[in-house]
Structure 1
Amino acid sequence: MLMKTGLATTARLAPAALAVGLALVASGAPAATQGQPVPECGGAVICARERWNDTGVDVTAGEPVHFRISGTWYDAGEEATFEGYAKPLFAPVAWLRRYPGARWFALIACVERTRHCAPVRADRPFVPVTSGRVYMYANDLWPMYSNNRGQLTVERVIDPR
């Protein structure tokens, strides 16, 4: 059983945990503050060339899920973030995108590789209509994934409210 005093607790920590804690203190890293969203450890790599990327995130129908996304990917030579890009030249074939209502190369989240999909947005959570594993992809034409490159990192953010 851990005691409430700092020294007694520190003495009982595993050496590796103690080293990590001391390194954080020495680096001046800020302590977690109450009420701020906290990302889960790690994150999933979403590859632009993959038609389905398993995020490792399981969701429950109706429960909002927040994601933090970083990185850049490319549709042939066109650079994009997770929000995708608009290209008027491609307008005649836009309806053929896997998710026609979202921009080219927008990050799309689906539950269990079904049609229960939605674009991932920075300003609002993904709210699944069914429970299961979240898969993601770059919104492109199904046969055109071979000219894609780059990757995004996606972290599920736990909202403590």
Structure 2
Amino acid sequence: MRKLQIGSPSVTTIDAHKYWNATDICLEIGASYRFEVEGEQFWYDARIRSDADGYTKPWLHWAEMFRRKPNENWFSLIGNIGQSGEQEFLIGKKLENYKATSSGELFCYANDVPIMYFNNHGALILTITRLS
């Protein structure tokens, strides 16, 4: 696992079809980070195109409680320290000055219903920069 140096960005690819995307990047407790999906990048929930901020559809309202992170948009980019699901946070297209609450590997995913990753495709390029 790589620890980031202050001011040196690291780039990783987040695949929509993976339940957990390992980044090989170690976030350190108390350190601050910036996350950014630059430019026009999209991934797909079946045939629905989405950027890292995700999407909403009125006809899917009934299923929102089944998403991995129910209060965030469908297909929003979510980060997690480790794979427990207890240290998750919304990244979206840009997250400035995130302070890590524990140390561990950064994992990411598209916010979807756990059993529905089979119909997801596409990937986003995520840039992570340690700020302090």
**Which bin holds the TM-score, normalised by the shorter protein?**
0.7 to 0.9
CA contact (8 A) 1:39 1:68 kept: no
Tell me which residue corresponds to 1:68. 36
1:126-141 matches, within 5 Å, as 126-141=98-113
1:79 CA drift (Å)? 0.7
**TM-score (norm: length of structure 2):** 0.84
The residue type equivalent to 1:78 in the other structure is I
Counterpart Cα distance in 2 of 1:77 and 1:126: 32
CA contact (8 A) 2:78 2:88 kept: yes
**Unmatched segments (≥5 aa) in structure 2:** 1-5
Counterpart Cα distance in 2 of 1:126 and 1:135: 15
Query: What do the CA deviations read for 1:130-161 (whole angstroms, capped 9, x no partner)?
Result: 1100000000000000110000011112448x
Does structure 1 residue 154 correspond to structure 2 residue 119? Answer: no
CA contact (8 A) 2:31 2:130 kept: no
Counterpart Cα distance in 2 of 1:68 and 1:127: 15
More helix by share: 1
Q: CA RMSD in A?
A: 1.9
Counterpart Cα distance in 1 of 2:7 and 2:74: 30
**TM-score (norm: length of structure 1):** 0.70
Counterpart Cα distance in 2 of 1:76 and 1:95: 19
Equivalent of 1:51 in 19, 22, 27: 19
CA contact (8 A) 2:81 2:87 kept: yes
Counterpart Cα distance in 2 of 1:50 and 1:130: 23
**Unmatched segments (≥5 aa) in structure 1:** 1-36
Q: Between Structure 1 and Structure 2, whose CA radius of gyration is higher?
A: 1
Counterpart Cα distance in 2 of 1:123 and 1:142: 24
User: Number of residues paired by the alignment?
Assistant: 123
Query: What do the CA deviations read for 1:76-126 (whole angstroms, capped 9, x no partner)?
Result: 111111110011111111011001111000000000112210110425333
Query: What do the CA deviations read for 1:19-73 (whole angstroms, capped 9, x no partner)?
Result: xxxxxxxxxxxxxxxxxx95525x1110000000011211112322111214210
CA contact (8 A) 2:77 2:110 kept: yes
Higher relative CO (Cα under 8 Å, sequence separation at least 6) belongs to 2
Equivalent of 2:52 in 82, 99, 107: 82
Does structure 1 residue 113 correspond to structure 2 residue 83? Answer: yes
Tell me: CA distance 1:158–1:107, structure 2 relative to 1, closer, same or farther (3 Å): same
Query: What do the CA deviations read for 1:1-32 (whole angstroms, capped 9, x no partner)?
Result: xxxxxxxxxxxxxxxxxxxxxxxxxxxxxxxx
